[in-house]
Amino acid sequence: MGGKGIAIFEIAKPNWFDKYCSSYAVEKQNDTNGKIKKYNAALYGDGTFFNVSALKRIYASGFNTVMIGPNKKSLTRGEDTEWCYLLLLQNLEMWYSGNLQFKHYLNKERITWAYYLELKKGIANGAALLFSYHYILQNNNISSVFYFVKYLKQTLLHTLLYIKYFGYKVISNANEKQLAFVIAQSKMKSFYYNFFASYQSFKRIKKLLK
Protein backbone atom coordinates (compact mmCIF):
# COMPACT_ATOMS: atom_id res chain seq x y z
CA MET A 1 0.00 0.00 0.00
CA GLY A 2 1.46 3.28 -1.11
CA GLY A 3 0.51 6.87 -0.46
CA LYS A 4 1.15 10.39 -1.66
CA GLY A 5 4.36 12.27 -0.98
CA ILE A 6 4.15 16.00 -0.29
CA ALA A 7 7.33 17.83 -1.33
CA ILE A 8 8.94 20.18 1.20
CA PHE A 9 11.60 22.39 -0.41
CA GLU A 10 14.69 23.90 1.16
CA ILE A 11 14.69 26.61 -1.52
CA ALA A 12 12.17 27.82 -4.10
CA LYS A 13 10.68 25.06 -6.25
CA PRO A 14 12.20 25.02 -9.76
CA ASN A 15 9.79 25.75 -12.61
CA TRP A 16 10.31 22.29 -14.16
CA PHE A 17 9.64 20.32 -10.98
CA ASP A 18 5.88 19.72 -11.24
CA LYS A 19 6.23 18.12 -14.66
CA TYR A 20 8.76 15.54 -13.43
CA CYS A 21 7.91 15.28 -9.74
CA SER A 22 7.02 11.58 -9.78
CA SER A 23 10.73 10.72 -9.98
CA TYR A 24 11.12 12.34 -6.56
CA ALA A 25 8.49 10.10 -4.92
CA VAL A 26 5.95 12.88 -4.54
CA GLU A 27 2.37 13.44 -5.72
CA LYS A 28 -0.15 10.68 -6.49
CA GLN A 29 0.84 7.26 -7.75
CA ASN A 30 -2.49 6.27 -9.31
CA ASP A 31 -5.47 8.09 -10.81
CA THR A 32 -7.85 6.73 -8.15
CA ASN A 33 -7.64 5.19 -4.69
CA GLY A 34 -7.70 1.41 -4.65
CA LYS A 35 -6.04 -1.46 -6.44
CA ILE A 36 -3.52 -0.60 -9.16
CA LYS A 37 -4.53 -2.81 -12.06
CA LYS A 38 -1.50 -2.57 -14.35
CA TYR A 39 0.36 -5.85 -14.88
CA ASN A 40 3.57 -4.16 -13.72
CA ALA A 41 2.04 -2.20 -10.85
CA ALA A 42 4.73 -0.70 -8.65
CA LEU A 43 4.98 1.84 -5.85
CA TYR A 44 7.91 3.99 -4.86
CA GLY A 45 9.49 2.84 -1.61
CA ASP A 46 9.03 6.10 0.31
CA GLY A 47 6.01 5.87 2.61
CA THR A 48 5.00 2.42 1.29
CA PHE A 49 3.87 -0.51 3.43
CA PHE A 50 5.21 -3.85 2.17
CA ASN A 51 4.06 -7.37 3.05
CA VAL A 52 7.22 -8.26 4.95
CA SER A 53 6.34 -11.92 5.56
CA ALA A 54 5.91 -12.48 1.82
CA LEU A 55 9.28 -10.91 1.08
CA LYS A 56 10.94 -12.89 3.87
CA ARG A 57 9.65 -16.14 2.37
CA ILE A 58 11.41 -15.27 -0.87
CA TYR A 59 14.70 -14.36 0.76
CA ALA A 60 14.53 -17.44 3.00
CA SER A 61 14.40 -19.59 -0.14
CA GLY A 62 17.86 -18.30 -1.10
CA PHE A 63 16.59 -15.96 -3.80
CA ASN A 64 18.91 -13.04 -4.63
CA THR A 65 17.45 -9.77 -5.89
CA VAL A 66 19.12 -8.05 -8.81
CA MET A 67 18.52 -4.36 -8.04
CA ILE A 68 20.43 -2.19 -5.59
CA GLY A 69 19.69 1.20 -4.15
CA PRO A 70 21.68 4.40 -4.64
CA ASN A 71 25.26 4.49 -3.44
CA LYS A 72 28.17 6.94 -3.55
CA LYS A 73 29.01 6.04 -7.15
CA SER A 74 25.54 5.83 -8.66
CA LEU A 75 21.95 6.95 -8.26
CA THR A 76 20.68 3.62 -9.60
CA ARG A 77 17.12 2.98 -8.45
CA GLY A 78 14.77 0.03 -8.59
CA GLU A 79 15.06 -2.03 -5.41
CA ASP A 80 11.56 -0.95 -4.32
CA THR A 81 10.17 -1.78 -7.77
CA GLU A 82 11.71 -5.24 -7.60
CA TRP A 83 10.04 -5.85 -4.24
CA CYS A 84 6.69 -4.90 -5.79
CA TYR A 85 7.23 -7.31 -8.66
CA LEU A 86 8.17 -10.12 -6.28
CA LEU A 87 4.89 -9.59 -4.44
CA LEU A 88 2.92 -9.56 -7.71
CA LEU A 89 4.51 -12.89 -8.62
CA GLN A 90 2.95 -14.27 -5.42
CA ASN A 91 -0.47 -13.05 -6.64
CA LEU A 92 -0.53 -10.23 -4.11
CA GLU A 93 -1.79 -6.77 -5.03
CA MET A 94 -0.58 -3.17 -5.15
CA TRP A 95 -2.93 -0.58 -3.66
CA TYR A 96 -2.78 3.20 -3.50
CA SER A 97 -4.48 5.72 -1.23
CA GLY A 98 -4.02 9.45 -1.56
CA ASN A 99 -5.20 9.71 2.05
CA LEU A 100 -1.88 8.24 3.19
CA GLN A 101 0.31 11.32 2.96
CA PHE A 102 3.87 11.95 4.06
CA LYS A 103 6.24 14.89 3.77
CA HIS A 104 9.31 14.41 1.59
CA TYR A 105 12.06 16.91 2.32
CA LEU A 106 14.13 17.91 -0.71
CA ASN A 107 17.32 19.87 -0.08
CA LYS A 108 18.71 22.34 -2.59
CA GLU A 109 21.27 19.88 -4.02
CA ARG A 110 18.52 17.48 -5.11
CA ILE A 111 16.41 19.93 -7.08
CA THR A 112 18.95 21.08 -9.65
CA TRP A 113 18.46 20.05 -13.27
CA ALA A 114 21.90 18.37 -13.28
CA TYR A 115 20.92 16.20 -10.30
CA TYR A 116 17.61 15.32 -11.92
CA LEU A 117 19.36 14.13 -15.08
CA GLU A 118 21.63 11.91 -12.95
CA LEU A 119 18.58 10.61 -11.10
CA LYS A 120 16.82 9.68 -14.35
CA LYS A 121 20.01 8.09 -15.61
CA GLY A 122 20.10 5.96 -12.46
CA ILE A 123 16.48 4.89 -12.90
CA ALA A 124 17.00 4.06 -16.60
CA ASN A 125 20.17 2.08 -15.82
CA GLY A 126 17.97 -0.61 -14.29
CA ALA A 127 15.86 -1.17 -17.41
CA ALA A 128 17.52 -4.41 -18.53
CA LEU A 129 17.82 -5.75 -14.98
CA LEU A 130 14.08 -5.36 -14.41
CA PHE A 131 13.24 -6.65 -17.90
CA SER A 132 13.10 -10.25 -16.62
CA TYR A 133 10.24 -9.30 -14.29
CA HIS A 134 8.36 -7.36 -16.97
CA TYR A 135 8.68 -10.30 -19.35
CA ILE A 136 7.42 -12.90 -16.88
CA LEU A 137 4.60 -10.72 -15.52
CA GLN A 138 3.36 -10.01 -19.05
CA ASN A 139 3.85 -13.41 -20.73
CA ASN A 140 2.45 -16.85 -20.02
CA ASN A 141 5.20 -18.46 -22.11
CA ILE A 142 8.40 -17.99 -20.11
CA SER A 143 10.76 -20.10 -22.18
CA SER A 144 14.35 -18.96 -22.59
CA VAL A 145 13.99 -18.78 -26.38
CA PHE A 146 11.16 -16.26 -26.21
CA TYR A 147 13.05 -14.35 -23.53
CA PHE A 148 16.06 -14.00 -25.86
CA VAL A 149 13.83 -12.79 -28.69
CA LYS A 150 12.08 -10.20 -26.50
CA TYR A 151 15.38 -9.02 -25.04
CA LEU A 152 16.85 -8.57 -28.51
CA LYS A 153 13.80 -6.58 -29.62
CA GLN A 154 14.10 -4.31 -26.59
CA THR A 155 17.81 -3.79 -27.25
CA LEU A 156 17.08 -2.79 -30.84
CA LEU A 157 14.22 -0.52 -29.78
CA HIS A 158 16.35 1.40 -27.29
CA THR A 159 19.19 1.67 -29.81
CA LEU A 160 16.83 3.28 -32.30
CA LEU A 161 15.46 5.61 -29.63
CA TYR A 162 19.00 6.62 -28.70
CA ILE A 163 19.74 7.52 -32.34
CA LYS A 164 16.46 9.45 -32.56
CA TYR A 165 16.99 11.49 -29.42
CA PHE A 166 20.66 12.05 -30.15
CA GLY A 167 19.51 13.87 -33.27
CA TYR A 168 16.98 15.91 -31.27
CA LYS A 169 19.66 16.86 -28.74
CA VAL A 170 21.97 18.08 -31.52
CA ILE A 171 19.19 20.30 -32.86
CA SER A 172 18.03 21.60 -29.49
CA ASN A 173 19.58 21.60 -26.03
CA ALA A 174 16.26 22.24 -24.28
CA ASN A 175 15.64 20.44 -20.99
CA GLU A 176 13.10 18.08 -22.52
CA LYS A 177 15.52 17.02 -25.28
CA GLN A 178 18.34 16.54 -22.78
CA LEU A 179 16.13 14.33 -20.63
CA ALA A 180 14.91 12.18 -23.51
CA PHE A 181 18.49 11.65 -24.65
CA VAL A 182 19.77 10.72 -21.17
CA ILE A 183 16.99 8.17 -20.67
CA ALA A 184 17.41 6.64 -24.13
CA GLN A 185 21.19 6.42 -23.79
CA SER A 186 21.03 4.86 -20.32
CA LYS A 187 18.43 2.27 -21.32
CA MET A 188 20.41 1.33 -24.42
CA LYS A 189 23.58 0.84 -22.38
CA SER A 190 21.65 -1.14 -19.79
CA PHE A 191 20.46 -3.63 -22.42
CA TYR A 192 23.90 -3.87 -24.02
CA TYR A 193 25.82 -4.44 -20.80
CA ASN A 194 23.40 -6.40 -18.62
CA PHE A 195 22.28 -9.32 -20.75
CA PHE A 196 23.97 -11.96 -18.59
CA ALA A 197 22.78 -10.43 -15.31
CA SER A 198 19.23 -10.08 -16.69
CA TYR A 199 19.16 -13.67 -17.91
CA GLN A 200 20.45 -14.95 -14.57
CA SER A 201 17.66 -12.99 -12.90
CA PHE A 202 15.18 -14.55 -15.34
CA LYS A 203 16.35 -18.05 -14.39
CA ARG A 204 16.14 -17.27 -10.66
CA ILE A 205 12.57 -16.02 -11.04
CA LYS A 206 11.57 -19.13 -13.01
CA LYS A 207 13.03 -21.31 -10.26
CA LEU A 208 11.23 -19.24 -7.61
CA LEU A 209 7.88 -19.71 -9.37
CA LYS A 210 8.33 -23.47 -9.30
**Average confidence score pLDDT of the chain:** 92
The answer to whether residue 74 scores a pLDDT higher than 90 is no
| Per-residue confidence (pLDDT) for residue 141, from 0 to 100 | 77
| Per-residue confidence (pLDDT) for residue 174, from 0 to 100 | 87
Residues in Cβ contact with 73 at an 8 Å cutoff, skipping those fewer than 6 apart: none
Helix axes 175-193, 113-124, angle to 10 degrees: 30
Region 60-83: what's the mean pLDDT?
A: 81
Q: What whole-number percentage of the chain has pLDDT above 70?
A: 96
- What is the rounded distance in angstroms from the CA atom of residue 23 to the CA atom of residue 6? 13
| Per-residue confidence (pLDDT) for residue 72, from 0 to 100 | 60
**pLDDT single digits (tens) 150-164:** 999 999 999 999 999
Asked whether the beta carbons of 204 and 63 are under 8 A apart, the reply is yes
Given pLDDT bands bounded at 50, 70 and 90, which one contains residue 129? very high
The answer to whether residue 69 scores a pLDDT higher than 90 is no
- What is the rounded distance in angstroms from the CA atom of residue 111 to the CA atom of residue 17? 8
In Å, what is the CA distance from 202 to each residue of 145, 151, 184, 195?
12, 11, 23, 10
Region 193-205: what's the mean pLDDT?
A: 95
